[in-house]
Amino acid sequence: MSARVLVVDDQEANVRLLEAKLRAEYFDVVTATSGQAAIECALAEQPDVILLDVMMPGLDGFETCRRLKADRRTRHIPVVMVTALDQPEDRVRGLEAGADDFLTKPVDNLPLFARIRSLLRLKVLLDELRLREEKVEERGLSPVDSEPDALQDARILLIAGEERIATHLSSKLPTQAIVDTETDPAEAIARSANGYDLALIDLTTKAYDALRVCARIRANSETRQMPILAIVDPDEVSRSVRALDLGVNDIVHRPVDRGELNARIWTQLRRKRYADTLRERLEDSLEMAITDPLTQLHNRRYISSRLQQVAEMVASGETSASVVIADLDHFKRVNDTYGHEAGDGVLIEFATRLRSRLRAVDLAARYGGEEFVVLMPDAPMSEAQAGAERLRAGVAEAPFRLPGAAEMLDVTVSIGVAEIRPGDDVDTVMRRADEALYRAKAAGRNCVMSDQKPSRAA
């Protein structure tokens, strides 16, 4: 997996060494020799990963990272701090500044490339979500806050080989989190699908192959996006690399420092909450694209596309289907007499009654104004007429209550029905249904009209 890497170090020799290692693995490399230059380069080049030296004159690595993460244009670029500092408090300080990981000088090639690959996989996912989020913002919605309360009500599954180890590790976890422990590997894999926000796995256990547990969790579609934090011995470099290649998000070394563990957990949960929010916004935006905001029925765009699909199925002989067009009678009088708020209330109530009288397979949409369309798959004309009559009667049987008023209003609906014939396109079948609707209006309203006989209220 190739990518663009920004290398930042005030020592030219260190820059050239890292640049040579990265280019040998076919990474595109850009460089900077100061914190300010790194910020400017990140804005201009938009690298995929930043390798950032900590000890620099002027803006040190901590402050540079803090500024990068504070800017919405660069905050989603993963930052790996490269430092000779190896104390837990230094790592905690960097994590609190927004760093995604650490490498200790001199940099070992295996951990370097494993961590870059791991962060690149994450960035590809977040970049796709952020690109879609930008489309959502173009519709006028506010941007997602990238700093949600990550630990509030977070659920953590702690997986260890022994109860004693699980109890010890559990005592180091954030008090705000809800922690469950598991020592059986099969049970751990099964339980991981129960909506946890993070899995903490002790890879040092001799009781079973904990790497296999990581792989199974990552392979499961229900837990694929759940962050995994692994505990390893610092001397087991190959095991750490293997874990990162299997999809583990981050690693903490034994002996486990409480501050560093909590900082790494917070980093992973913050990133997960942000990604979850992006996904929810994407789902909401997709729903908005096919939903009428007032009635919560489908909109014209959606029903037209489904009509085309069903028309093609009818043409191939796979099914029969019909289209119903319903138009509220004298709706303009409602708006003119009682106001648009009352008119909206009538539309909402009509949509409610419409939904309650549909089959499970029927699709209803607000087509425009007071006009509604129902697509009825697997319904020949006789069934469509019966369904349309149920709707007409359901509207006329009880008055509508106007919003904010005790007054009740009698409402009726005229309906046109057309069966989709082989060779019909959307415009053709809609025109025939609309002609049936026009005949229903001409016949005195409050009736159903089709190519066959009308159905009228008694």
Backbone angles phi, psi at 419, to 5 degrees: -85, 140
H/E run at residue 369 = none
Neighbour count for residue 127 (Cβ, 10 Å):
14
Helix axes 88-97, 258-290, angle to 10 degrees: 20
Catalytic position from the list 133, 370, 389, 419:
370
> Distance between terminal CA atoms of the chain?
73
Return the SS3 of 117.
helix
Q: What angle do CA 379, 439, 366 make, to 5 degrees?
A: 55
Query: Distance (Å, rounded) from C-alpha 420 to C-alpha 378?
Result: 10
Quick one: tokens of 42? 């990140």
Tell me whether residue 236 is one of the annotated catalytic residues: no
The secondary structure of residue 200, as a DSSP letter, is E
Cα(373)–Cα(198) distance, integer angstroms = 46
Instruction: Give backbone dihedrals phi and psi of 232, rounded to 5 degrees, phi first.
Output: -135, 160
Q: Which of 370, 364, 378 is nearest to 303 (CA)?
A: 364
Residue 130: Cβ within 10 Å count: 17
Q: Are 338 and 402 in contact (CB under 8 A)?
A: yes
Give CA torsion, residues 333, 337, 340, 343, to 10 deg: -50
Please identify every residue annotated as catalytic.
370
